[in-house]
Copies of this chain bind each other. A is one copy, B any other.
Amino acid sequence: MIVDCAIYEGGRRRNGGVDLHDAYSACRRDGNFAWIGMYEPTEEEFDSLRREFDLHPLAVEDAIHAHQRPKLEVFEGMVFIVLKTARYVDPKEVVEIGEILIFLGADYILTVRHGKASALKPVREALESEPELLKHGPGAVLHAIVDRVVDDYTPALEGLGVDIEEVENEVFSRDRSNPAERIYRLKREVLEFNRATAPLVEPIDRLARGHYEHVHPEVRAYFRDVNDHLMRVHEQLESYRDLLTSILGANLAQVTVQQNSDVRRISAIVAIVAVPTAIAGIYGMNFEHMPELGWTFGYPLVLGVMVAICAFLYRFFRRAGWL
């Protein structure tokens, strides 16, 4: 589906509706460029674009089927970029990964979005209010999109951060809980998120170093800034990974302690009860000569002894930390 198709002349959007054919011809003129935005396009929708801009069939195939690694590839006269978008879905504690694929030529930029995250409409609106930036050509659009995608990593990262803190509290709380599954699922998300972002570091760095002609030198400093944010995301994810490994170990210790202390307490109760049972057993023996049995206060005395021993054991176990 073609979402929007616009021509920018000297940084300003040409008024009125523009169809693809207008775009093809208009963007050839100096200082002009076209930005055509698509959302999960079909092969047919892409066909005219492919022919007009002479796009490489491999890049086109990638754009239609998505599920690529983040990458930046150079074909003659064209740069092809794959970005992964991320959106945190809280109730499921899942990072949903989408994809934006960009074809960047001297006088055009084609954007293909898959999945829900990082809509490009606000990016377009923000850019259109800054003609100075748009004058730098499609490279400025590329920057704005990459910037947006990387900025959108932050809420996903924070969502994970909040969940990790929750899981920490769960692990170290006094409740009898075993959040091993939750820890594991979070780790899984962190790994997947990292796989979506880590391969981007190197291409963005190359953009920042100005290896590509379609990117105006003015824009390079901005890519450096994006790269910096990306590095922060990457470092944070590495740190999350390490933390989740540690917390899995800590959880095992907590669970072992909790479980064992329960068994210990129950055993202590059994031990305390066993003693009066033994004493009662003794006075339940049928020997003919057991002087205590004839004593008037034998019974209450023995009861007293039982209570005393139980009380003593209780205090002893308490002090030993067994109860």
Contacts and interface: CB of A to CB of B under 8 A. Distances in A.
Interface of A: 56, 58, 62, 68-69, 71, 73, 75, 168, 171-172, 176, 178, 180-181, 183-184, 187-188, 191-192, 195, 199, 221-222, 224-225, 228, 231-232, 235-236, 239, 241-257, 259-271, 273-278, 280-290, 292-299, 302-303, 306, 317, 320-322
A180 B284 contact: no
Contact of A178 (B62, B71, B257): B257
User: Which label, helix, strand, loop or mixed, suits the secondary structure of the A interface?
Assistant: helix
Contacts of A293: 285-288
A151 to B, nearest CB: 13
Contact of A180 (B236, B250, B260, B265): B250
A223 to B, nearest CB: 10
Contacts of A290: 286, 299
Contacts of A298: 287-289
Contact of A172 (B180, B246, B270): B180
A69 B277 contact: no
A323 to B, nearest CB: 10
Given A260-B262, A270-B270, A277-B278, 11 more contacts: A172-B180, A178-B253, A180-B253, A191-B239, A249-B252, A273-B275, A274-B277, A283-B286, A287-B293, A288-B294, A289-B299
Contacts of A232: 69
A262 to B, nearest CB: 5
Given A280-B278, A298-B289, A299-B287, A231 B191 contact: no
A228 B68 contact: yes
B287 A191 contact: no
Nearest to A62: B225
A83 to B, nearest CB: 14
Contacts of A192: 239
Contacts of A225: 58, 62
Which of A232, A247, A282, A287 has the most CB atoms of chain B within a 10 A radius of its CB? Answer: A287
16 contacts: A73-B221, A168-B184, A184-B250, A187-B242, A191-B239, A191-B243, A249-B252, A252-B256, A255-B257, A263-B267, A266-B267, A267-B267, A280-B281, A285-B286, A286-B290, A290-B299
